[in-house]
Amino acid sequence: MTTNDADRISARLLGKQDPPLEELLALDSEDEAGTDGSPPERLFARQATALLNRLGQFGADPEGGTSRLLYSPAWQNAQAALEEWMNGCGLRPYYDDAGNLFGRLEGTDPLDRGVILTGSHIDTVRRGGLYDGAYGVVGALIAVSYLQRKYGPPRRTLEVVSFAEEEGSRFPLTFWGSGNVTGLYDTRKTPDIVDAEGVTLADAMNGAGFGLKRYRPSRRSDVRAFIELHIEQGAVLERERKTIGIVQGIVGQKRFTFHVKGEANHAGTTPMSYRKDALSAACEMALYVREAALQAGDPLVATVGKLEASPGVANVVPGAASFTVDIRHAEAEALMLFCRSMRERFEQIAARYGVTVDGEEWMSAAPVPMSAKLTALLGKLCISRGLPYRSMYSGAGHDAQIVSAICPAAMVFVPSYNGISHSPHEFTSENDLAAGIVVLADLLYMLAYEGEAAI
Amino acid sequence: MTTNDADRISARLLGKQDPPLEELLALDSEDEAGTDGSPPERLFARQATALLNRLGQFGADPEGGTSRLLYSPAWQNAQAALEEWMNGCGLRPYYDDAGNLFGRLEGTDPLDRGVILTGSHIDTVRRGGLYDGAYGVVGALIAVSYLQRKYGPPRRTLEVVSFAEEEGSRFPLTFWGSGNVTGLYDTRKTPDIVDAEGVTLADAMNGAGFGLKRYRPSRRSDVRAFIELHIEQGAVLERERKTIGIVQGIVGQKRFTFHVKGEANHAGTTPMSYRKDALSAACEMALYVREAALQAGDPLVATVGKLEASPGVANVVPGAASFTVDIRHAEAEALMLFCRSMRERFEQIAARYGVTVDGEEWMSAAPVPMSAKLTALLGKLCISRGLPYRSMYSGAGHDAQIVSAICPAAMVFVPSYNGISHSPHEFTSENDLAAGIVVLADLLYMLAYEGEAAI
């Protein structure tokens, strides 16, 4: 294929005259696949871009970005499109009762009924980007489709999954998709929660046709491994010029809201030495959080994301202030010690300002290590492909941390342009998208075709 | 009068069966006035309490406090009641075209047509207390009424004023009452501003019957001195166990809003060292403001009253933050130098955090000294009455700072319980209310009856 041909095809992929799916997924001519057996990176790049752009149409916001909230029409249409694409790739699509969509490629080994699962989530934040979650679904589809066309049916069954929900952007709960697979949640015991319009989770689910026992139960016990491809959502890979991040584990998190109470006073008539200024105390606490985190060093991060003074007017010394603290670390012990020191220091600061401080911990998630065997395999694969990689922790939550409760799990990161995520400006280059799919395909090949004994 | 009599009368004053005004203002029997010629403090105390409670009924909020906004029905009724009370005290009430209400006690000296003016404002903040402004009006009425009954007509004309507006709580402007008297404002050139309901100042004024040239023009050139009695609105007198504060001047103020811009990032995936955290920078700036103000010492005060992070969610490193700074000092030079240092320091802090900072000054008022001669007289009067007093600056704005543009002005403060103001919990003890009226009456006597040459 000449450069002109490539340009022409790219233009078609991105333009209104998209090629039919069969054509898109059949583009791996011998020339492109390469004669040396190496995966067709350029093909993967174009397929990923085309499929991500197509998927991004479902829920595209007129003001930019994509909003695909759990069980919404946009979400339903996206799942339906994926179902069609799975079919087109020769996978057998099926839903479970939570609305998770799977595409199954049956294994040939009659003695091994386990499943190698790969994918990510289909939902987005409000006005999110094209890549978060979607890349892991599309990448899995491209990788499995490639393996099937190149090598035929696997020994172990391969499944691509598009989890119903991970972001928590419609209802105040996260991991509804993978959580139903692992037994963390259960569609028959739906939490009594509502979205911003007052619609219950149960009504939304039923309205989309799920939670009605029309589909198979979500809970799975046949999954032998889960591999999730995802954008980094941070800038570490980009800054260090690495193409692949191999996730050692997903950090634990704790989130708090602290309330400082002092005394509201007239800003003009209250001498500085009389004040019990809740905001100043809160500011010193916020600065402590940052300083202590800098001193602790990676992988600890701590963030004061919200801070408010009350009454919050220019000419009143604030009588109250509140702020959030979000703390993450790969080790539970280190996380706990940081929080303990922080609370002690807050008390000292409060005493100095003549104010009180109270805090509630409203979120606590333990660190989740990824499978050491799978991450070791990923490292070897990167070396053999000559791909620059690094081991790292994920500071964000992912479906893999949930699924790891029922099987060995691994995650592969690719760089995020400028570290931007949860934004219409999310971007990952075609080359990096392709590299992630190459690594995923390699690992899936080892696990499903070679019957790698590591799991 | 026995203690029982006093209790009975107090109960009637505070209860539903208030005595008629004539009875209330005629209570100064010979016994109470004292035979030594000293002013009847107990009478002043009861009169002040009774009148303040009556006045507080106009605009009483069912949830507590009093809301008497400029030109509102509650405001109109309060002015009408004061008009009636002035009449009852033998003063001749009249309005000017801005709605300021005056009660005139004509002087006997045909060669001196100047006026000694005393009073304060009738409007309140939303859900304010009984004392702010009202005390100065009621105290002036009681003092002038007492002088008249005790000494007959003065040589120089005395006028009690109830200014239409000072607080700026209905429209985004302050000192509409006294400002019209001094020429700062003009009802014929009403600013084009609206209240929270979209009503223009002109419509509100006309609706209350003002600004229609039915009354005399507001601008005055005959005022020879202005004395304003007011609660401190701070806790200095209370802490130092002083009964009277003699105001040397009203501090100058500057108010700013600063905007810090950094980079919003994922709180989990962005290592501490990568961050451009706008909120942390803003917190350090806010702490600098406090530290620098503590170091500068009285009478400088500096306050960060409002501080907000954007996007303001727990798991996002804030990309932007904004905060207000309110700075006050009795000397313009010191105020200016503080602001200059502050801006320089903010730039340094911003540079360290990799963020930018911009600030706009949206309020600037020069310090206003009170009349040195009048404040000296007040000091002598306090000494002769054996009243513990101190000189101080007013950190809050007052009508006296406006009126001082056209004549010597002075202010007398009495203690505020716990320094509380602009709140239903505003409180000043009866004894302190009375002491302030005693000092006011003494000064008015010197100026209007003895023809004190100091002015």
Which residues of A are less than 8 Å from B277 in CB distance? 290, 303
Which residue reads 């798991």 in tokens?
A: B315
pTM over 0.90: no
Q: In this predicted structure, what is the pLDDT of residue B19?
A: 63
Q: What angle do CA A329, A333, A335 make, to 5 degrees?
A: 35
Q: In this predicted structure, what is the pLDDT of residue A112?
A: 87
Rounded mean pLDDT, A12-33: 53
B360 Cα to chain A: minimum distance (Å): 13
Q: In this predicted structure, what is the pLDDT of residue A36?
A: 60
Q: Does position A18 have pLDDT exceeding 80, yes or no?
A: no
Contact assignment for B266 to A315 by CB distance below 8 Å: no
Rounded mean pLDDT, B102-122: 95
Share of chain B above pLDDT 70, in %: 91
Q: At what angle do helices B430-444 and B41-56 cross, to 10 degrees?
A: 110
Q: Which of A312-316, A362-366, B372-376 has the highest mean pLDDT?
A: B372-376
pLDDT tens per residue across span A129-148? 999 999 999 999 999 999 99
CA distances from B409 to A160, A393, B375, B439 (A): 83, 69, 9, 15
Q: How far is CA A122 from the centre of its chain?
A: 10
B403 Cα to chain A: minimum distance (Å): 20
Rounded mean pLDDT, A2-10: 39
Q: In this predicted structure, what is the pLDDT of residue B112?
A: 87
Contact B290/B345 with Cβ under 8 angstroms? no
Contact with chain A for residue B61, Cβ under 8 A: no
Q: In this predicted structure, what is the pLDDT of residue A2?
A: 38
In whole angstroms, give the CA distance from residue A437 to residue B181: 79
pLDDT tens per residue across span B342-359? 999 999 999 999 999 999
Give yes or no for a cis peptide into A311 (omega within 30° of 0).
Answer: yes
Contact A225/A374 with Cβ under 8 angstroms? yes
Q: Does position A416 have pLDDT exceeding 80, yes or no?
A: yes
Q: Does position A31 have pLDDT exceeding 60, yes or no?
A: no
Q: Is B114 helix (H, G, I), strand (E, B) or coil?
A: coil
From the number of C-beta atoms within 10 Å of its C-beta (0-12, 13-18, 19+), residue A220 rates as: buried
In whole angstroms, give the CA distance from residue A203 to residue A209: 10
Q: Residue B15: how many CB atoms within 10 A of its CB?
A: 9
Q: Of the given ranges (A5-19, A45-59, B68-82, B435-449), which has the lowest mean pLDDT?
A: A5-19
Rounded mean pLDDT, B400-415: 98
Rounded mean pLDDT, B36-62: 91
pLDDT tens per residue across span A267-317? 999 999 999 999 999 999 999 999 999 999 999 999 999 999 999 989 999
Q: In this predicted structure, what is the pLDDT of residue B17?
A: 45
Q: In this predicted structure, what is the pLDDT of residue B39?
A: 77
Contact with chain B for residue A365, Cβ under 8 A: no
Cα four-point dihedral sign A56, A60, A66, A71: negative
Contact with chain B for residue A284, Cβ under 8 A: yes
In whole angstroms, give the CA distance from residue B450 to residue A229: 93
* Average pLDDT of the residues of chain B: 92
Contact assignment for A266 to B294 by CB distance below 8 Å: no
**Domains of chain A with CATH codes:** 3-250+368-449 (3.40.630.10), 252-365 (3.30.70.360)
Q: Does position B9 have pLDDT exceeding 60, yes or no?
A: no
Nearest CA among A195, A164, A199, A161 for reference residue A180: A164
Q: Which residue has the higher pLDDT, B5 or B37?
A: B37
pLDDT tens per residue across span A186-232? 999 999 999 999 999 999 999 999 999 999 999 999 999 999 999 99
Contact assignment for B268 to A301 by CB distance below 8 Å: yes
At residue B446 the predicted structure's pLDDT band, cuts being 50, 70 and 90, is very high
At residue A21 the predicted structure's pLDDT band, cuts being 50, 70 and 90, is low
Q: Is A265 helix (H, G, I), strand (E, B) or coil?
A: strand
Which B residues 68-127 touch A at CB under 8 Å? none
Q: Of the given ranges (A88-97, B2-11, B155-164), which has the lowest mean pLDDT?
A: B2-11
Rounded mean pLDDT, B60-84: 96
A–B interface: beta-carbon pairs under 8 A: 220
Q: In this predicted structure, what is the pLDDT of residue A166?
A: 97
B351 Cα to chain A: minimum distance (Å): 16
Q: How far is CA A282 from the centre of its chain?
A: 32
Q: Which residue has the higher pLDDT, B60 or B10?
A: B60
Q: In this predicted structure, what is the pLDDT of residue A19?
A: 63
In whole angstroms, give the CA distance from residue B45 to residue B310: 52
Q: In this predicted structure, what is the pLDDT of residue A330?
A: 96
